[in-house]
Each structure stands twice: as structure tokens, then as C-alpha cells.
Amino acid sequence: MKYITFAGSDRKVSTIVPGTMRIAGLSPKQFRELLAAAEECGINFLDFADIYGGGRSESLMGELLAAEPSLREKFVIQSKCAIHRQNGIGFYDFSKEYILEAVDGILQRLQTEYLDVLLLHRPDALMEPEEVAEAFDSLKRSGKVRMFGVSNMSPVQMQWLGSALSVPLVANQMQLSAAFTSMLDGNLNANTQTDAGIMRDGGTLEYCRMNDIVLQSWSSLQFGRFEGSFIGSEKYPELNAVLETLAEKYGITPAAVALAWILRIPGKFQAVIGTTSPAHLREAAAAADVALSREEWYRIYLAAGNQLP
């Protein structure tokens, strides 16, 4: 397993991260088997959100922590908040009151006294950075949260928020996969008049690397917006052919090759995967031990339907 560190922390965290959006339907026994597979592979980081399974994903972890307290120090636990559902609608809420309320709920469900990392879940157009700073300071002082980050934020949004914070932003969780490359396209097609040359995210990749912010990929094996996995999909025959060829070369699965493609990008990356299968998690973990060549990385990028100027 390959490890990185967050800014200001010496704790090494795995570059492969189990995401828990789909675990709510598992039994405690099944989830414990998934965690056992993670431990076996050297995976020590878990990604939650208060909306996953309506809170059930966190509660499932809490049941295991209550039964086996030693698990708490084996895993770095991250959760997300700010997607607020009220009066039949969902919206984003970065208010101090809601952040503090949400974290209390997260900790109660997880049955733990602290979160290692809290991410704000998508940007809030009504964000007041000073109010977020008050919430983060309160959570830091009380020991409820050790590190803070964001998701789906542009560099300007991170810079604006960070201007009011007394703590660093350590992570930004963004959609990225071999079949969803908007974070890279603008970079590669700079100074062209093509659609691919539009910098839609404002240079998140570059900003995060310059500021020691970990990029966490979500939907790491998906295409479109929750349209499904590209692994084995008839929509991506060329991509799958390349992945299968490289999988045979490296003795891993095509999915692991696709994850290795993410981890090959310079900077600090974690690939979040939503599997509920211990076997698939073991297969995915092998990605961390493969370093694709430059030619192989570009071959995958082009096979997904992208072009270079």
C-alpha cells in the first residue's frame, strides 16, 4: 500500500479509500468483513458522509466501534456534512449552527468522540467564510474534529474560504476517473479554442498541489454523473481494451489499473471506491503498488475518447 500525509499531520494514510455510500444495506458482520479486508491490505482510511444511507452508514460503523473499540485507532475516519434536507427540499448549508449540529449527529452515530477529517459537502452559494471559521474553530478547540477540508470546490472558493480560517484545508474531494477527466482536460488543452480547453474547475489540480492539499477522487470507476461504471461497459470498448491489456501486464484487474491511473497523477491523491465486496477491495488495493509509465497513462487517457491538441 502507498501512503501519504495530510498537511500538518504525521499520520500516514492509505491512497486507496473505501467509500461508504452503499454500505447501509450491509449487516454488521458483512461490514466487519469489509474492514478486515481493508486491514489486510494496509488500508487505514474510511470516507463517510452524514447523508449516506440517511445516516445508516455512520451508524453501522458506530455499532462496530462500540463492540470493538480498538478499531477506532486503526482507521482514520472522515465524514462530510452540509447537504441539508428540510421541508421536502435539499440544499447546501455552511451556517455555523448547522455545521455544529451536523457534526454532533455524526459523532453520535459513529459512537466516537472525534472525527479525524471533516469535509464540507459541496459548495454553498450563501457561504460566509467567517461563519465557517467560527464553526471550525469551535470544533477544533473542543477536540471534535482534527482536520478540515472541502469537496467539489474551485481554487477561488478554497482561497476565499481559507482567507478566514485559522486551520488549513487539507483535502478536496472531486469527481475524477479515466472516463471523467474535466479536471485534466483544460490543463492539457490550454491555449486552444476547443471545448476541451475550457478550464471548468479553475485549476483545482494545480492549486491543490501548490498548497499541499490532498485530492480525493470520487466516482473513481464511474462515467458521467452516476451513470455507472465504465469497467466492462460497451460504451467504452477502447478504454476497456487498454485496461485489460495493462491488467494482464501487471497481474491486476482492469479496475485496479484504472485506479492506478488516478494515483499516477503528480501530487497527493487518494482514490475513493464504493465497493461493498471484500474481494473487490483487495483487488483495488493492488493499484497502489503499480506505477504506470507516462506512455501507459496517456494511452488510457486517449482510449477514453479524449484527444490531445
Q: What are the helix (H) ranges across 251-308?
A: 254-263, 278-285, 294-303
- Nearest C-alpha neighbor of 48 from the set 20, 74, 24: 20
Q: Which of the residues 3, 52, 114, 236 is marked catalytic?
A: 52
Kindly state the cell numbers that stand for 292: 504506470
**Known catalytic residue: 52?**
yes
- Please state, in angstroms and rounded to a whole number, the distance separating the CA atoms of residues 15 and 2: 6
* Residue partners of 225: CB distance under 8 A and separation at least 6: none
- Report yes or no: 220 and 276 within 8 Å, Cβ to Cβ: no
User: Does an H or E element contain 115, and which?
Assistant: strand 115-120
- Nearest C-alpha neighbor of 275 from the set 2, 13, 22, 41: 22
- Please state, in angstroms and rounded to a whole number, the distance separating the CA atoms of residues 212 and 198: 25
φ/ψ (deg, to 5) at 189: -110, 25
**R_g of the chain computed on alpha carbons:** 19
- Please state, in angstroms and rounded to a whole number, the distance separating the CA atoms of residues 286 and 281: 9
DSSP annotation of 197 reads G
Kindly state the cell numbers that stand for 57: 452508514
Decide: helix, strand or coil at residue 307: coil
DSSP annotation of 177 reads B
Largest CA distance in the chain: 58
Could you give the C-alpha distances from 70 to 47, 50, 65, 77, 110, in angstroms and in order?
A: 18, 23, 8, 14, 14
Give the active site residues. Answer: 52
